Amino acid sequence: MGQGANVVDLPPMPVVECIPNVSEGRDPAVLDACSEAIRRAGARLLDVKPDAAHHRTVFSFAGEPAPVKAAVLALFETALARIDLRKHSGEHPRLGAVDVVPFVPIEGVTMADCIAMARAVAADVATRHNLPVFLYEEAAAMPTRRNLEDIRRGEFEGLAAKLQQPGWTPDFGPSTPHLTAGASVIGARMALIAYNINLATNRLDVAKKIATAVRQSSGGLRYVKAMGVELADRGIVQVSMNLTNFDKTPIFRVFELVKREAGRYGVTVLESEIVGLVPAAALTTSAAWYLQLDTFKDEQILENRLRQP
């Protein structure tokens, strides 16, 4: 039975995502200018998430490598012209006007491609704006510089002193801070999924124990960061997570582990929640696991065939 098809393999259109965090979260005019610069460069602006308390905004955009690169450069132009960190104070730590810029491979683009993009953009903006730039995560020049928190420690105010230390010469640009824009951190990483699992209990200790069990740092799954939190308005608790490599540590594995750990306390999963954007592959991989779809190929997804060139 059925109308089986021999689907033709065509190369996918390359898609890279960029998620710059910018140190402005209150002035809509500045944010609109940034959004406009991104769009005009030809990238698809997916999301703009300002946080007034953090005084910080997360931009998400995607597209083929060339327009995405152009959009990042345009964003640097706009942000550096309009943000003065000497007047900046917010709840989120920051090193630069354009604080951090990760490139993420989505489709038809490798991590190596993203690392190359990060390096090219870093070299460009460092020269063009006389800006110190550090590479991080997969693009890091040395293991001690992979972690964003380590690079950012000291923030804008401590930057002049930090740049003089041996071991903190920037990867590109001068060893003195940009007067108003500080320094920037540019790199490449896998797509990150913000994933929460709500438990049918008000026992915060249960959520915290499960978070401890499931996060990498305390012995759990490799690409999971997790914490237990209270959702006081609902009278329940949550295991709040970042999945930092959904290809290696897939959503379904995390779900099943949390569910089983919750069962040890007589607690069931109420629901789970993906916050923000998620690559389709993360979901189809989970569907394929549960449905035991052994021979399934992404080219069988009709919408994927429509998106090919």
Active site residues: 92
Alpha-carbon gap, residue 96 to 84, rounded angstroms: 9
Q: Does 15 bind a second copy (CB under 8 A)?
A: yes
Rg of the chain in Å (alpha carbons): 21
- Least Å distance, CB 294 to a second copy, is 4
Residue 149: Cβ within 10 Å count: 8
**In the complex with a second copy, which residue's Cβ is closer, 92 or 146?**
92
Total residues found in the chain within this entry: 309
Q: Does 283 bind a second copy (CB under 8 A)?
A: yes
Quick one: which segment of 24-32, 93-101, 162-170, 296-304 binds a second copy (CB under 8 A)?
296-304
Q: Does 112 bind a second copy (CB under 8 A)?
A: no
Alpha-carbon gap, residue 58 to 181, rounded angstroms: 17
Determine which residue in the list 2, 11, 143, 219 makes contact with a second copy, applying CB under 8 A: 2
* Inter-residue contact 223 to 216 (CB < 8 Å): yes
* Inter-residue contact 37 to 71 (CB < 8 Å): yes
Instruction: Return the structure tokens found at 38.
Output: 């991104």
**In the complex with a second copy, which residue's Cβ is closer, 202 or 272?**
272
* Inter-residue contact 138 to 111 (CB < 8 Å): yes
Determine which residue in the list 14, 16, 18, 19 makes contact with a second copy, applying CB under 8 A: 19
* Inter-residue contact 214 to 224 (CB < 8 Å): yes
Determine which residue in the list 93, 227, 231, 245 makes contact with a second copy, applying CB under 8 A: 227
* Inter-residue contact 241 to 232 (CB < 8 Å): no
Residues forming a β-bridge with 263: none
Q: Does 62 bind a second copy (CB under 8 A)?
A: yes
- Least Å distance, CB 163 to a second copy, is 28
* Inter-residue contact 222 to 249 (CB < 8 Å): yes
Residue 193: how many CA atoms within 13 Å on its side-chain side?
25
Determine which residue in the list 97, 133, 199, 251 makes contact with a second copy, applying CB under 8 A: 251
Q: Does 300 bind a second copy (CB under 8 A)?
A: yes
Question: Which residues within the stretch 121-140 sit at the binding site for a second copy (CB under 8 A)?
Answer: none
With b for 16 or more beta-carbon neighbours within 10 A and e for fewer, the 6-15 pattern comes to eeeeeebebb
Determine which residue in the list 33, 192, 221, 237 makes contact with a second copy, applying CB under 8 A: 192
Alpha helices, DSSP H, located in 101-188: 111-129, 148-152, 159-164
Main-chain phi, psi angles of 12, to 5 degrees = -75, 155
Q: Does 280 bind a second copy (CB under 8 A)?
A: yes
Q: Does 220 bind a second copy (CB under 8 A)?
A: no
- Least Å distance, CB 151 to a second copy, is 19
Determine which residue in the list 176, 212, 216, 284 makes contact with a second copy, applying CB under 8 A: 284
Question: Which residues within the stretch 26-55 sit at the binding site for a second copy (CB under 8 A)?
Answer: 44, 46-47, 49
- Least Å distance, CB 207 to a second copy, is 12
| Footprint on this chain of a second copy (rule: CB under 8 A) | 1-8, 15, 17, 19, 44, 46-47, 49, 58, 60, 62-63, 106-107, 191-192, 194-196, 225-227, 229, 240-242, 251-252, 255, 269-280, 283-284, 286-288, 290-296, 300-307
